[in-house]
């Protein structure tokens, strides 16, 4: 490649999205990635036994398939095929039953009983207009709403604590537990302001498009984006770590798919002192403790409904989930952690040898945790699937230190790019009408530490690219 017009540091979904957007505007784009494979959190790796393929970080992608930017790209032409299980999410309880979430509302209605009508009243309007909703909530924090009534319908309940909204709207344990499991993806206490927002977005997506995942694993998303980048004349260099900005060729725009800590390391010498102090004050969220299993067979769920869901939430009742997430926020390790589990090989046999299966799970842990929660996580699976441990052929165990060692953006095992508190959703990473731009001309931030935050949707990268193209007069 001739001297690039733009350089992107980091090839996570946001970095690749920024690169694709810049390439689509006619710029020559170079992406530099420290790891041997592209994708950041969206990679698929052989972590256990030969023939078993596991997702490094993200595994299920409702926001990718519905992303206002990614869904405009011809990723299917590059081999990306979405698999949507019959149910998006299952949430089992100790009585042997389970609540189901989407697609559609029929399965959810059948499992929520007396709360079916209230659930549909809350989610149906949001699911019906999901594309417009995502245009609003995945856009800039400060913007003129195109659909003010839709945003108000979402925003008023979204600002509430998830636990309070669940108790106010639903009477029975199944609906309350299902809502709590959705909200707990935020890695925030369920009594925290705006924790309901995550449940509303993820639930609406589940009803509208399901919670699909790519055939072959999350790495297929990165591979398709990289292929589209090359189709637009861009170049991707792996095993090409950037230690400082001076390592890069001169370019009209530099995009950093890095969290504030790495930004300070790479670009700190050029940043104004006040801006650098604001980046240094950025708060990271609690960490993740992750397990990947190679299994001799499918997980033997007590509740048969769990077998039709790609994702299973393991935490019991609203009260149990709220207690576990509150303990993490206090710096304590919950005795019964809330576990998010994906079982892709029930629907995608390409990721294991014949008869074999893989499963992916993680729970939240306090900041600074460096212990081993294997027994606690597996006890939660065994609680709802007796005999699970007998199927384990091998496991890959990775706590926060290992996750950060493999991907420097996962600071302290934080998989969301920073704490998802209400204040930091607005000031991410700093309070600014244009948080993707920095005080250094031509230098932009495009990681999940910018709006709209974590998730495989590429919108942080797309917004950063828009800022750069605006400044370049394109």
> In CATH, what number is assigned to the domain containing residue 276?
3.50.50.60
d(CA 236, CA 49): 29
In terms of residue numbers, what domain contains 455? Answer: 6-47+217-282+416-471
d(CA 215, CA 399): 26
The Cβ of residue 102 has, within 10 Å, a number of other Cβ atoms equal to: 26
Residue 118 lies in a domain: yes
pLDDT of residue 313 exceeding 90, the answer is yes
Give phi and psi for 225, each to the nearest 5: -65, -40
Q: Is the same domain home to 179 and 308?
A: yes
Kindly report the CATH number assigned to the domain that includes residue 90: 3.90.660
Q: 117-152: buried (b, 16+ CB within 10 Å) or exposed (e) per residue?
A: ebbbebbeebbebbeebbbbbbbbbeeeeeeeebbe
d(CA 108, CA 122): 13
Q: Is the same domain home to 248 and 303?
A: no
β-strand 309-314 against 339-342: which pairing, if any?
antiparallel
Q: Is the same domain home to 326 and 189?
A: yes
What the block records as the tokens of 458 is 């590429």
Residue 307 lies in a domain: yes
- Choose the final residue of a domain: 381, 406, 431: 406
What the block records as the tokens of 45 is 């790796």
pLDDT of residue 132: 95
User: For residue range 48-95, what is the model confidence (pLDDT) as tens digits?
Assistant: 999 999 999 999 999 999 999 999 999 999 999 999 999 999 999 999
Residue 60 lies in a domain: no
Q: Is the same domain home to 400 and 426?
A: no
Total structural domains within the chain = 2
Burial of 168 (0-12, 13-18, 19+ CB in 10 A): exposed
Contact of 134 with 68, CB cutoff 8 Å: yes
Please tell me the total number of residues recorded for the chain in this structure: 474
3-state helix, strand, coil in the chain (%, to 5): 45, 15, 40
| Crossing angle of helices 219-231 and 13-24, rounded to 10° | 20
Average pLDDT, the chain: 96
Contact of 335 with 376, CB cutoff 8 Å: yes
- Choose the final residue of a domain: 406, 431, 446: 406
Average pLDDT value for residue range 123-136: 96
pLDDT of residue 149: 86
Bond from prior residue into 307 cis (ω within 30 degrees of 0)? no
Between 203 and 142, whose confidence is greater?
Answer: 203
Residue 53 lies in a domain: no
Please give the DSSP secondary-structure letter assigned to residue 270.
Answer: G
User: For residue range 251-271, what is the model confidence (pLDDT) as tens digits?
Assistant: 999 999 999 999 999 999 999
pLDDT of residue 1: 63
Q: Is the same domain home to 204 and 309?
A: yes
Residue 74 lies in a domain: no
Average pLDDT value for residue range 12-16: 98
Q: Is the same domain home to 189 and 242?
A: no
User: For residue range 331-358, what is the model confidence (pLDDT) as tens digits?
Assistant: 999 999 999 999 999 999 999 999 999 9
pLDDT of residue 218: 97
């Amino acid at each position: 490649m001739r001297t690039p017009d733009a350089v992107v540091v980091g090839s996570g979904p946001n970095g690749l999205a920024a690169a694709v957007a810049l390439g689509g505007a006619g710029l020559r784009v170079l992406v530099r990635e420290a790891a041997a494979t592209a994708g950041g959190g969206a990679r698929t790796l052989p972590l256990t036994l030969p023939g078993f393929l596991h997702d490094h970080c993200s595994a299920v992608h409702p926001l990718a398939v519905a992303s206002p930017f990614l869904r405009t790209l011809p990723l299917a032409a590059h081999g990306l095929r979405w698999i949507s299980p019959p149910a998006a999410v299952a949430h089992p309880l100790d009585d042997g039953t389970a609540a189901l979430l989407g697609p559609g509302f029929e399965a959810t209605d059948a499992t929520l009983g007396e709360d079916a009508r209230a659930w549909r009243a809350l989610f149906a309007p949001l699911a019906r207009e999901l594309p417009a909703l995502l245009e609003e909530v995945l856009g800039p924090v400060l913007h003129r709403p195109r659909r003010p009534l839709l945003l108000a319908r979402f925003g008023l309940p979204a600002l509430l604590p998830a636990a309070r909204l669940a108790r106010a709207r639903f009477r029975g344990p199944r609906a309350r537990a299902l809502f709590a499991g959705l909200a707990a993806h935020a890695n925030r206490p369920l009594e925290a302001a705006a924790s309901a927002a995550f449940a509303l977005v993820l639930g609406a997506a589940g009803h509208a498009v399901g919670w699909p995942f790519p055939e072959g694993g999350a790495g297929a998303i990165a591979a398709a984006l990289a292929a589209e980048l090359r189709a637009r004349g861009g170049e991707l260099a792996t095993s090409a770590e950037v230690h400082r900005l001076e390592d890069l060729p001169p370019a009209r725009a530099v995009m950093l798919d890095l969290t504030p800590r790495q930004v300070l390391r790479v670009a700190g010498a050029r940043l104004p002192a006040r801006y650098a102090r604001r980046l240094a004050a950025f708060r990271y969220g609690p960490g993740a403790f992750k397990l990947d299993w190679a299994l001799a067979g499918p997980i033997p769920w007590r509740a048969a409904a769990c077998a039709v869901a790609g994702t299973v939430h393991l935490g019991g009742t609203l009260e149990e989930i709220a207690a576990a997430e509150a303990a993490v926020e206090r710096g304590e390790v919950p005795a019964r952690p809330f576990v998010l589990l994906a079982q892709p090989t029930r629907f995608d046999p390409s990721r294991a040898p014949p008869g074999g299966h893989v499963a992916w799970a993680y729970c939240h842990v306090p900041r600074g945790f460096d212990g081993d929660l294997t027994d606690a996580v597996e006890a939660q699976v065994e609680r709802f699937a007796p005999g699970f441990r007998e199927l384990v052929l091998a496991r890959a165990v990775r706590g926060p230190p290992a996750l950060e060692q493999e991907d420097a953006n996962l600071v302290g095992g934080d998989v969301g790019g920073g704490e998802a508190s209400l204040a930091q959703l607005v000031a991410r990473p700093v309070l600014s009408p244009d948080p993707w731009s920095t005080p250094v001309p031509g230098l932009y931030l495009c990681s999940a530490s910018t709006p709209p935050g974590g998730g495989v949707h590429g919108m942080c990268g797309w917004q950063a690219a828009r800022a750069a193209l605006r400044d370049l007069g394109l």
